[in-house]
Every structure is written in C-alpha cells, then in structure tokens.
Amino acid sequence: MDRIKALEETIREKDRLLEEERRRREEIEETTRGSSLQEFLERCHDLHTSVQVVTDKTLTTQGEITNPDNRLYPKRILRWQDFEASQAAVWARIGESSDFASRQWFPSRNDFAYVRDRLRPISSESQLRWFEALAIENMVVDLFQRAREDASVKQVLGVDSEINFQDHTNLGDDGNSELARMMQDLRLQQSTKRTERQQSPHRHRGTADQFCVLQSADDGSRRPSLAIEFKAPHKLSTHTVSAGLKEEIQTYEDVISQIEEPSDAEQRQDWWCQYVMAATLTQLFSYMVTQGTRYGYLSTGQAYVFLRIGDDPSEVYFSVQIPSLDVSTNDERRLHHTAVAQVFAFIVQAAGESGPAQDWHQRRDLLSPWKVDLQSILHAMPESIRTNCRPDEDAESMRKNGRGSDEEGRRSPESPSEQRRRRIQTRSVTRGRGTQAPSNHGNATQGSDSVVRSSVKERPYCTHSCLLGLAEGGDLDSYCPNSRLHGSTHLRRKDFLHLVKQQLLVDTGVDASCVPLNIHGARGGLLKVTLAAHGYTFVAKGSEKHNFKHLHNERQTYRRLRTLQGTHVPVCLGLLELRRVYHYSGARLSHLLLMSWGGRPLSAPLNKTFQVCFPKLAESALTAIHREKIRHNDAEPRNMIFDIASMRLMVIDFERSTSISSPSFARISSNGVTEQTAKKRIRYRSAEDELVAMRNCMHRFLQ
C-alpha cells in the first residue's frame, strides 16, 4: 500500500513538473513572440508614460528655456483645427487594408522590457533625447518599416521611402555627409569674405535638434521631412505648454510689443506662459521656415506641439497633444492618440507633401527677426511665477476648451491680458476662413502642387547626344524623347543660357519647371530643369556664392574633358550666375552648372543588380579621364552615377580636380593655384595611385 502511494506521489510530482514546464514554455513564448499592432501601440504607450521627470533643481540642468533672439518669428500662431481629423484619416486608411494590424511582427514583450531597463529619469535635454530615441523614434522607424513591407498599406499610405531620425552632427556619418553640409555647413559657416551672408539679416546660427529624413527607395535621394525640437520637461511643463497655447497668438501684437507685466498674479502667469510658448515656437518655426520644411514638432517627453506652415510662410498652425491624458479607456481609437501613433501619422502627412515653391521662400524673406531680449524678461519674473505649475488635469481642460478657468469676468478690463483676449475674440469673429487649419486649404494646394511637380519630375531627360548638339551647335538627336519640342534646329548655346536664366528669375510658383532632386554633393544640390518653351530637360548643380570657385573649377575641367562628354562624363552646357538666389534645403544657391543627366548614384537600390559591372566601367572611365591630363582627386563610388538604359557609368563632381602635366603633378592647377598649393589638395601622387585608391574604394563599396 505504501508502495502504491509512493508511486502515485511520484506521478503527481512528475505531472506538476510537466505542468510547470508547460507554463514556463508558454510564458517564454508569450514574452518572445512578436506583438500585434494593438499590443505594440499599447506597450509603446506604457513605455512612454513610464518616464520620470526630475524636478529637484540641484539635479537638473538650469540653462535657458529657449532663445528666439534674431530668429524669424511667425506673424500668427493659429490653432490647427482639423489636426486630429487628418491624423485619424491616416489610421483609417490602414484599418481598411490587409491583415497589417493582426500580424505579430512588432517587437516582443522582452524587447520592450530591455528598452525600459535602459530608460533613465529625465533631468536634461540630452536625457530627453535619449528617451525620445528609445521610446518614440526607434518605435516609429519600426512601424514605418513594417508599413513599407505590407504591400497594401504601402500603397494606401504612399510610404515609399525609408526614414531616419538624425541630428545635425551625424547626418553624414553614414557616408552621406552631403546632406549634413547642405542642412548645416552651407547655411551656417561664418566668413568675413562672404558678403552675401552679411547682407541677409535672416541667416541664423544653429539648427533644429533633430530631423526626420526621408530616403527614396528609387534613387537614394534624401530630404528632411520635418524638424524636431526638444525641451526638458522640468523647464517646460505641460501646464506652460497648454496655458501658453490656449488661444491664437499674433506674435508682435500679443507678445513682442507687450513687455508690461500684468498686475494680477494669475494674469501674469498666463502672460508668462504665452510669452514662453511664442518664443519657443519661434525658435522651431525659424528652423523650419529657413530650411523650407513645413512640418515639425516640439517635444518635452510629456507634451507634443505639432506644427505646420501652410501656403503663407508668415503663419504657423499648432496642435497640442498630451498622450498621457489623450489616451482614454472609453475610446476605441484611443491608441491612435499615443505618442508613437501620433508621430507616425504626422510623418506620413509630411511625407506626402512637396516642398515649398520659390515664391514661398521669397515671401519668407519678408519675415522679421525677434529682437526682444527674452532672458531679461524671464529673469525679472518672480520664482513663484516661473515655477508655478497647475495639475495636468487643469492643463488638459485648458487645452480642450481653448481657455483656462472662467474667471476672466473678474479681471480688470484694463489689464493687458484682457486687452489681448478682446483682440483675439474680435479677430476670431472677423477672420472667417483665416483660422481654418491648413489641411483643407493646404491639401487642395498640395494636390495641384503634386500634379504639376510630378509632371516636371516625370518628364524624360534629353539624351547626351541631344545636349551635346546644343552645346556645340550640332544636329538634333532624333532619339531624344523631347526632340519634337526643340524645333527644327537647336538654339544657340548663348540664347539657351539666357532663356534658362530668365525662366529661373520669373518661374517661381508651384508650377515652376525647376524642382529639387534632393541629391546633394559636398558643396551643392542637384535640380531638374526644363526650359519650358523648347522642352530641353537637364540637371543643374547649384552652389552658394562662397563656393563659386569650386563650381568654376568643375566647369573648367569639363571643358578639358570635352571629348569625353556624353560617354564617361556628363555633357556640360554652361555656368549661370542667377539674378535671384534659389532656395534649396536652407542653402541659397547663386550659381548653377547645367549638365546632362547621367544616371542614378551607384548606391541607388535600382542599380544593385548591375553592381558586378561597376569596377570595370569605373576603371575605364577614370583611365580615360587621366588620358586627358585630369586628376579627379575624389574618385570614389559616391562621385559616380550609372544609367541602366545605356549601361553607362559616368564620373561626376570635379570640383577638386586638377590638371596633370606630368606623371606626378601639374605646375599650375586648373583653377590657377601654384604647385605648392595644389600638393596640399591632391590626395594621390600619381594617376596610378588614384586608380589603385579607386579600386580599393569600389571593393569596399561592393562588400
């Protein structure tokens, strides 16, 4: 009997162990399996709301909140009325397509636990950046990538680009330093020789904390789709954000000219909040409007202020979102209000819009810089006012209702706060459509803009033979897709250059026959241009005035390579000095080098199939260039392009090139510098050295 009991006990113990093992396996499977979309957004929200804010002044950074000094300010800061509807429309499109929401391909519970362990309490802007990178940006990148991998979602959202969040210090670390220079160096370098910059009052130091960069899957072109600014939550509370943006602001009338403090303590609190928020948004607005980026957002880690600049560059629309308060348990679409979901939908909106036209930039140049010393005003504020923060629930009430407590009737009618409110109420009655969010009006413009610009972008380029005939007074090329528009004979080259220059001066609207290609070189950006009256379609490499000598050197090199144009290098049509600068990703292009289109960068996804051909073609092209007594001095794959149709590889970007009069060095280089100066610039002692270096670079590129 005892033996039977012992046996039964053994069986029960085995069953218990088996059950424990089964539960452990299920738990492991549950924690390691991928998340569905709903689980993903839920876990993202839990991660985001777990942030801890350090408020002890001895443990936090104590620098200035913002510095709008000498930055362009918007004339009006308007409420973005249909922001939530626009965001919801993005998620509605996802809900109508495929099984995207049910697929378990997002990060697992274990992945989220790992991220949570790496989060730290926020006591500085740098820690806020770290938090945003882990809890928001990485998650948005993952969500965006999954959307691109789902064919139906990719189609309905139109998301054909990869996204990256990059700051101005590392935009070029992946080998694409061109974009970093275009967004920072070309715009921000200081030099006493650069008189154009001294003449413009709108050249500002610094740039946004972060950019969301779109990279085309087709040709690898990259453009910043939105700008991001971070403000530590212990400096900018949710109350300050909500109270400061509870009503429309006319920046000069309501803020800049209103330096008199209200006498009432509560009015003084509201006055300060509005002042701080107007100054803070001015800082981000200035980055956006200077860069030509219409979308951006401010983040404190707790509150988000989403911005859009419409067709009028003097106005910016805002929407305040506080995810910890917006995600309601009673709303079936509550997860669409999470920080990750909001940022994702916002990027989708930004990705679908073309950049502003040149006349938009010209109107931007009429904006005025902020001249009031904000810091002296803030330092004069009593500490009790600067640090007074109402509960988040009160902030939520102000944000949703558009106003704070209903105590205005008890305030002095002569107070500055009451005067401002009366002006705002009057404006809201008389403005009519002026307070409409940019989506309705802006989307209509966006639609026509997209149609016109796409027609320019989709127009085929003229052939090398066609443009060579134009440059040298030769025959028309019957194989050129635009030949029927050229007439019976080519224009004279001089007349062609004059017409292009005149067109660029007057053709500045959304239907302009010149569009940026968002492909950047070390000192310039690439444009696609169509001479509308004659159909000539080509590319133009632009540079700012202080880089003219490099573009001129490149033009001189193309002249020396005349016999190779159209085969190993593009056809060069000439160099233009523009009568009015062309705005391009924050740079002000003053000169254009006109050339035939030679193909896409070697790194473009479409070229991967043909990479096996690149080494031989590159060596052939570089050898031919050396035979013409030219050393490139930067002959790397990033300075080569490939055309699939013709199976032709071309070398480009000759701005560093020098002439060769012997196997080692030229006495005088192509841009007129002496041998001693040239030696400092030349990277290789001989043409053979450059050829060997190119082979090594190509080998690394193909690995």
Same domain, 558 and 624: no
pLDDT digits (tens, 9 = 90+) for 32-72: 778 899 999 999 999 999 888 988 888 888 878 888 889 99
SS3 165: strand
What stretches in the chain show pLDDT beneath 70?
1, 26, 28-31, 96-98, 168-206, 329, 374-454, 661-685
Alpha-carbon gap, residue 258 to 271, rounded angstroms:
9
Determine the pLDDT at residue 101. Answer: 84
In a domain, 3, yes or no: no
Numbers of helices and strands, H then E, in the chain: 26, 18
Same domain, 472 and 412: no
Same domain, 53 and 123: yes
For 649, the domain range is: 601-702
690: CATH:
1.10.510.10
Alpha-carbon gap, residue 149 to 144, rounded angstroms:
9
Same domain, 586 and 481: yes
Same domain, 548 and 614: no
pLDDT digits (tens, 9 = 90+) for 664-698: 444 434 444 444 444 444 556 688 999 999 999 99
> Do the beta carbons of residue 223 and residue 585 sit within 8 Å?
yes
Buried b (16+ CB within 10 A) or exposed e, 60-69: beeeebbbbb
Residues 6+ apart with CB under 8 A from 119: 47, 50, 51, 131, 134, 135
Residue positions counted in the chain? 703
* Nearest-10 crossing angle of helices 138-149, 37-49: 170
Determine the pLDDT at residue 381. Answer: 59
Placement of tokens 């092209």 in the chain: 621
The DSSP symbol for 523 reads S
Same domain, 432 and 463: no
Determine the pLDDT at residue 422. Answer: 45
Same domain, 129 and 229: yes
The DSSP symbol for 60 reads S
Alpha-carbon gap, residue 560 to 570, rounded angstroms:
13
Q: From residue 315, how far is each of 77, 307, 360 by CA, in Å?
A: 6, 10, 12
Alpha-carbon gap, residue 197 to 191, rounded angstroms:
9
Given 576, 597, 618, the domain boundary residue is: 597
Determine the pLDDT at residue 181. Answer: 44
In a domain, 432, yes or no: yes
Same domain, 299 and 214: yes
Determine the pLDDT at residue 579. Answer: 95
In a domain, 532, yes or no: yes
Given 564, 597, 630, the domain boundary residue is: 597
Share the mean pLDDT of the chain. 81
Determine the pLDDT at residue 307. Answer: 98
Alpha-carbon gap, residue 462 to 453, rounded angstroms:
18
Alpha-carbon gap, residue 445 to 103, rounded angstroms:
36
Same domain, 605 and 593: no
Q: How far is CA 44 from the centre of its chain?
A: 24
> Do the beta carbons of residue 296 and residue 307 sit within 8 Å?
yes
Q: What sign does the dihedral 497-513-588-522 (CA atoms) show? A: negative
Same domain, 268 and 406: yes
Which tokens belong to 634? 């930067």
In a domain, 1, yes or no: no
In a domain, 5, yes or no: no
518: left (phi over 0), alpha (psi -120 to 50) or beta: left
Sheet holding 514-520, edge to edge: 514-520, 525-531, 536-543, 587-595, 572-584
In a domain, 393, yes or no: yes
Rounded to 5 degrees, what are φ and ψ at 328?
-95, 140
Residues β-bridged to residue 229: 298
**One-letter amino acid for residue 211 of the chain:** F
Determine the pLDDT at residue 269. Answer: 84
220: left (phi over 0), alpha (psi -120 to 50) or beta: left
Determine the pLDDT at residue 13. Answer: 78
* Nearest-10 crossing angle of helices 2-32, 109-118: 70
Given 542, 567, 597, the domain boundary residue is: 597
Same domain, 583 and 605: no
In a domain, 30, yes or no: no
506: CATH:
3.30.200.20
Determine the pLDDT at residue 400. Answer: 53
Full 3-state SS string of 524-584: CEEEEEEECCCCEEEEEEEECHHHHHHHHHHHHHHHHCHHHECCCECCEEEEEEEEEEEEE
**One-letter amino acid for residue 357 of the chain:** A
Same domain, 380 and 473: no
Determine the pLDDT at residue 668. Answer: 38
In a domain, 4, yes or no: no
Which residue, among 303, 293, 305, 418, has the nearest Cα to 361 in the 3D structure?
293
Alpha-carbon gap, residue 584 to 675, rounded angstroms:
35
If one counts the domains in the chain, the total is: 3
Alpha-carbon gap, residue 84 to 69, rounded angstroms:
32
Placement of tokens 């949570």 in the chain: 116
Q: From residue 254, how far is each of 28, 81, 416, 421 by CA, in Å?
A: 58, 21, 9, 9
